[in-house]
């Protein structure tokens, strides 16, 4: 009846199959024939039950996100679900893969849900800055109870079939040939005879939780929202399910959805959803990838250990190489300890821990890397050291092995040139802790072969990283833009701002922490070493480092961390140091407002981003956004620096950059030609769409 929706019969059971690759999103071209099919099956006397199933790799993964922001074409999802609920014969959703968002909401419109044992189910709308707008916040609590619904909807994290069965979300779990099982299940239900109660009428679990307990749980979750409207709206909407009649709660949900979908935060989060997927695409779809089975990691320190864990977590065998037995044992013990912590937190089973540890092999001999398909170096950040390591790798690595450097600043072309096989060399810039942080900057050097690049991009997703391909320049995308921000943060201190004040402006903006807290956490010595290598200085940070104050790890930096505390306390010595240094330079402190802090720290980042685009270091503005959101904590609700620039207004940004350039003479304020050009042509619209 349509390319996207077909109906087959198995006895009295009609099977409606949706086939809208890749993820069976509920686009208009699905909704229209789906509605028609359901209406006609409802009225057909020969049909005793209806199964809704999907072709391909998954059940419906949600509404079609590309349709948001455009006029809604009828029938919308709500109308289809409302119609489903008028059907008296049993309706069964047969779920395999992922039933997400609108997909799960459609399933909630059925009398029954059965699932494949590997299926996952969830309402992830919050991650797009939305709430489930197809009745999910009103129906889910009726099945699983308000507290479980609250946690699923506010976190957006899907649950597995077994948990869904235990929670009451689904009615049965099967292995293999799901549609056949669904037909049997449906016909059995039809045999029992009705009436079948739609989810909307199952109120039994709603008053099992008292409102005070619910509000307490919601308040806890709201604390983590950090300025995002969607989690708060999600909680409000689940609460409405408890306090309002069904229809009124649905209307309230619809109103909240309409507000969120039209807002900047959701636009930003939808932008990031597609940006992340776009960044993972490299030219040459048909390029044959190299086979990667065993990975070598050189260095078992914090970075090397984290990288090794990331690969083991992805199921790869890992050879960890250290210079001495002692360093190796220390590194392996740390890996063991990190996995033990995951076990104690319940995020890893003992069995999985054993399995993962079984993937590691330790060594102090380069020859042991000869069977590795990929070798990642995570040694000291110094060109001479890196070159020595690559020279040795060149001698032992098998032909075709990919040689990667985890450098965060250094010239990958120069490193590649120190081998006889520059085509096999690539940068893999992980972020610390490497087993946790999602971002992977993949540095394409001049001679990196296309199949090496394609292999690493694909591999990144297998180890649950978000890849962004970048070109060679000092600091690549992330650290180069960070440098622009860092310089000005120090200048603001000398002119009268305090670290607390600047950090506060950042957290109010939505960052998890400000630049000084972040410096203390990462270790001030890293930036210091980098500055020294480039002949640069930072008055305050350099003085702290010379005094041996590197931040959290030494108990003091811009803040104090007493008795091993991780909570930053103001450091009066730093305040005195700032006053002294300002006096030395003849700067009279003045009151500095939040706007100035934003303009002088974030606008130069955008300017640097524009230069990065001009130079072709990043292929797309949205790649820069992914780097900043996934690697540096740029608030998701603002979509990354380049998207946010569109919200803020390019003309305004250029005007203020001009102002600060005139006032300070600093080069990084001088607007990049691309920025001006984009402001004039309106081309930024494309970036911030
Ligand atoms: C919603 O449902 C609102 C309702 O409550 C209310 C309505 C009134 N739409 O991720 P992948 C594309 S909000 C359009 O690489 P995987 C994606 O862009 C929605 N396109 O695959 C990519 O395209 P391309 C709630 C979508 O196997 C391709 O599919 N649902 C959608 O790694 C493959 O995607 C969600 O938020 C979509 N909904 O992961 C679920 N989903 O190839 C969002 C995907 O051109 N989706 N695409 O780059 C996901 O989480 C993952 O895609 C999924 C598969 C887990 C399903």
pLDDT for residue 689: 45
Over residues 315-328, the mean pLDDT reads: 97
Domains of the chain (ranges, CATH numbers): 5-262 (3.90.226.10), 294-476 (3.40.50.720), 518-584 (1.10.1040.10)
pLDDT for residue 206: 87
| Interatomic CA distance for residues 133 and 62, integer angstroms | 11
pLDDT for residue 133 is more than 70 = yes
Q: Is the CB of 125 under 6 A from ligand 1?
A: yes
- Residues 100, 119: contact at Cβ < 8 Å? no
The residue to mutate among 60, 65, 139, having the most atoms of ligand 1 within 8 angstroms of its beta carbon, is: 65
Q: Which atom of ligand 1 is nearest to 100's Cα?
A: 30
pLDDT for residue 1: 64
pLDDT for residue 432: 86
pTM of the model: 0.95
DSSP code per residue over 80-109: HHHHHTT--S-EEEEE-SEEETHHHHHHHT
| Interatomic CA distance for residues 183 and 49, integer angstroms | 8
Ligand 1 mean position, distance from CA 316 (Å): 27
DSSP code per residue over 591-647: ---HHHHHHHHHHHHHHHHHHHHHTTSBS-HHHHHHHHHHHH---GGGTSHHHHHHH
| Interatomic CA distance for residues 176 and 156, integer angstroms | 27
pLDDT for residue 533: 81
Q: Is the CB of 101 under 6 A from ligand 1?
A: yes
Determine what percent of the chain is predicted with pLDDT higher than 90.
89
Per-residue pLDDT tens over the stretch 634-648 = 999 999 999 999 999
pLDDT for residue 685: 54
Q: Which atom of ligand 1 is nearest to 64's Cα?
A: 9
pLDDT for residue 680 is more than 70 = yes
Q: Is the CB of 57 under 6 A from ligand 1?
A: no
Among candidate residues 105, 276, 322, 599, the one labeled active-site is: 105
Is the pLDDT higher at 587 or at 522? 587
Per-residue pLDDT tens over the stretch 238-277 = 999 999 999 999 999 999 999 999 999 999 999 999 999 9
Ligand 1 mean position, distance from CA 61 (Å): 6
| Interatomic CA distance for residues 418 and 413, integer angstroms | 9
Ligand 1 mean position, distance from CA 23 (Å): 6
Q: Is 105 part of the annotated catalytic residue set?
A: yes
Per-residue pLDDT tens over the stretch 511-542 = 999 999 999 998 899 888 878 888 889 999 99
Atom 51, ligand 1: residue with shortest CA distance: 61
pLDDT for residue 541: 95
- Residues 221, 150: contact at Cβ < 8 Å? yes
Per-residue pLDDT tens over the stretch 437-476 = 999 999 999 999 999 999 999 999 999 999 999 999 999 9
Band of the pLDDT at 683, cuts 50, 70, 90?
low
The residue to mutate among 22, 238, 270, having the most atoms of ligand 1 within 8 angstroms of its beta carbon, is: 22
pLDDT for residue 477 is more than 80 = yes
Per-residue pLDDT tens over the stretch 392-413 = 999 999 999 999 999 998 999 9
The residue to mutate among 4, 21, 23, having the most atoms of ligand 1 within 8 angstroms of its beta carbon, is: 23
Chain centre distance of CA 217: 25
What rounded mean pLDDT belongs to the chain? 95
Q: Is the CB of 61 under 6 A from ligand 1?
A: yes
pLDDT for residue 284 is more than 80 = no
Q: What ipTM describes this predicted complex?
A: 0.99
Determine what percent of the chain is predicted with pLDDT higher than 70.
99
Q: Which atom of ligand 1 is nearest to 78's Cα?
A: 8
Band of the pLDDT at 194, cuts 50, 70, 90?
confident
- What 3-state DSSP class applies to 3? coil
pLDDT for residue 688: 47
Band of the pLDDT at 669, cuts 50, 70, 90?
very high
Band of the pLDDT at 63, cuts 50, 70, 90?
very high
- Residues 417, 446: contact at Cβ < 8 Å? no
Q: Is 125 part of the annotated catalytic residue set?
A: yes
Per-residue pLDDT tens over the stretch 339-393 = 999 999 999 999 999 999 999 999 999 999 999 999 999 998 889 999 999 999 9
Per-residue pLDDT tens over the stretch 419-428 = 999 999 999 9
Band of the pLDDT at 163, cuts 50, 70, 90?
very high
């Amino acid at each position: 009846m349509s390319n996207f929706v077909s109906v087959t019969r198995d006895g009295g059971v009609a099977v409606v199959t949706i086939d809208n690759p890749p993820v069976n999103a509920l686009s208009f071209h699905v909704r229209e024939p789906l509605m028609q099919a359901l209406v006609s099956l409802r009225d057909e006397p020969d049909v005793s039950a209806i199964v809704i199933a999907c072709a391909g790799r998954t059940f419906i993964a949600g509404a079609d996100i590309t349709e948001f922001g455009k006029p809604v074409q009828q029938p919308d999802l709500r109308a289809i679900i409302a119609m489903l609920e008028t059907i008296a014969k049993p309706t069964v959703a047969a779920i395999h893969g992922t039933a997400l968002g609108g997909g799960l909401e459609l399933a909630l419109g059925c009398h029954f849900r059965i699932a494949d044992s590997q299926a996952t189910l969830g309402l992830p709308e919050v991650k797009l800055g939305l709430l489930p707008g197809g009745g999910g916040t009103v129906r889910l609590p009726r099945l699983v109870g308000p507290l479980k619904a609250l946690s699923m909807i506010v976190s957006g994290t899907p649950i597995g079939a077994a948990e869904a069965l235990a929670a009451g979300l689904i009615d049965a779990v099967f292995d293999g040939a799901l549609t056949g099982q669904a037909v049997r299940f449906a016909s059995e239900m039809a045999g029992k005879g009705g009436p079948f109660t739609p989810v909307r009428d199952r109120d039994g679990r709603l008053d099992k939780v008292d409102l005070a307990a619910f509000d307490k749980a919601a308040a806890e979750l709201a604390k983590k929202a950090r300025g995002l409207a969607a989690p708060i709206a999600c909680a409000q909407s689940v609460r409405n399910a408890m306090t309002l009649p069904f229809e009124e709660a649905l209307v309230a949900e619809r109103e909240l959805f309409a507000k969120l979908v039209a807002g900047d935060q959701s636009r930003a989060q939808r932008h990031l959803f597609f940006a992340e997927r776009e960044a993972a695409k490299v030219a040459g779809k048909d390029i044959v990838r190299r086979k990667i089975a065993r990975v070598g990691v050189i260095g078992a320190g914090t970075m090397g250990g984290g990288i090794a864990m990331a690969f083991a977590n992805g199921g790869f065998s890992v050879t960890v190489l250290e210079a001495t037995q002692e360093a190796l044992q220390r590194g392996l013990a740390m890996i063991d300890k990190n996995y033990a912590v995951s076990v104690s937190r319940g995020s890893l089973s003992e069995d999985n821990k054993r399995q993962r540890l079984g993937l590691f092999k330790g060594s102090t001999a380069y020859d042991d890397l000869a069977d590795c398909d990929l070798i990642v170096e995570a040694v000291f950040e110094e060109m001479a050291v890196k070159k020595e390591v690559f020279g040795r790798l060149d001698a032992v690595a098998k032909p075709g092995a990919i040689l990667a450097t985890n450098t965060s600043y250094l010239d990958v072309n120069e490193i590649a040139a120190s081998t006889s096989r520059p085509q096999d060399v690539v940068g893999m810039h992980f972020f610390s802790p490497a087993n946790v942080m999602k971002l992977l900057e993949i540095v394409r050097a001049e001679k990196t072969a296309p199949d090496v690049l394609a292999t690493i991009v694909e591999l990144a997703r297998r180890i649950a990283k978000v890849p962004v391909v970048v070109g060679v320049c000092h600091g690549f995308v992330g650290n180069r833009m960070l440098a622009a921000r860092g310089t000005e943060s120090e200048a603001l201190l000398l002119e009268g701002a305090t670290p607390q004040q600047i950090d506060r402006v950042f957290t109010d903006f939505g960052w998890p922490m400000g630049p000084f807290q972040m410096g203390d956490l990462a270790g001030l010595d890293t930036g210091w070493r980098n500055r020294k290598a480039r002949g640069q200085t930072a008055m305050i940070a350099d003085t702290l480092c010379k005094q041996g104050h590197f931040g959290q790890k030494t108990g003091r930096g811009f803040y104090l961390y007493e008795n091993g505390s991780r909570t930053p306390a103001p450091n009066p010595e730093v305040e005195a140091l700032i006053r002294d240094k300002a006096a030395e330079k003849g700067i009279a402190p003045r009151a500095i407002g939040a706007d100035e802090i934003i303009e002088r720290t974030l606008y130069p980042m955008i300017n640097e981003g524009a230069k990065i685009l001009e130079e072709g270091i990043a292929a797309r503005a949205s790649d820069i956004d992914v780097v900043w959101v996934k690697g540096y904590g740029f608030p998701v609700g603002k979509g990354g620096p380049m998207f946010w620039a569109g919200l803020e207004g390019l003309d305004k940004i250029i005007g203020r950059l001009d102002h600060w350039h005139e006032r300070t003479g600093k080069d990084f304020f001088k607007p990049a030609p691309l920025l001006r050009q984009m402001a004039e042509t309106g081309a930024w619209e494309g970036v911030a769409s």
